[in-house]
């Protein structure tokens, strides 16, 4: 996965390579369980993006120390929960203006 490799560039000073494998493990679990409840498959675009890695980078405590990248499993879980929200409360989608939904879909591609 090219986006996963871009997230592990030397400039991020990552010490361990386990993030690559654990993200795929969680995506696999989400993709195994989610469709049983009618949810679509999760893509790896959220946890494997350079913007996501930069957002999770913490400033070092000591001068000269490398920055720390925090791991986060909440964002993919929230993304999946938001995908499932229309199944639990379909009337909520009716409150969102159609132009806003179309704008998001055009922006996402």
pLDDT tens column, 24-71 = 777 788 889 888 888 777 776 655 667 777 787 888 788 887 777 776
Domains in the chain: how many in total?
Answer: 1
Overall pTM surpassing 0.85 (yes/no): no
The angle, 0 to 180 degrees and rounded to 10, between the axes of the packed helices 18-33 and 74-88 is: 10
Alpha helices per DSSP H over 1-109: 2-6, 18-33, 50-55, 74-88, 91-95, 98-108
Domain encompassing residue 69: 2-108
- Rounded Cα distance between 101 and 55, Å, is 25
Is the pLDDT higher at 83 or at 95?
A: 95
Token pair listed for 30: 């989400």
- Rounded Cα distance between 94 and 41, Å, is 24
Per-chain mean pLDDT for the chain:
76
């Amino acid at each position: 996965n090219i986006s996963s490799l871009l997230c592990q560039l030397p400039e991020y000073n990552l010490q361990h390579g386990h993030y690559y494998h654990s993200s795929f493990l969680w995506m696999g679990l989400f993709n195994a369980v989610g469709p049983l409840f009618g949810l679509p498959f999760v893509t790896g675009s959220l946890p494997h993006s350079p913007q996501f890695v930069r957002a999770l980078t913490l400033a070092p405590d000591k001068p000269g120390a490398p920055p720390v990248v925090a791991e986060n499993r909440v964002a993919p879980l929230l993304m999946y929960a938001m995908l499932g929200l229309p199944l639990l409360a379909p009337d909520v989608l009716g409150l969102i203006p159609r132009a806003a939904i179309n704008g998001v879909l055009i922006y996402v591609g």
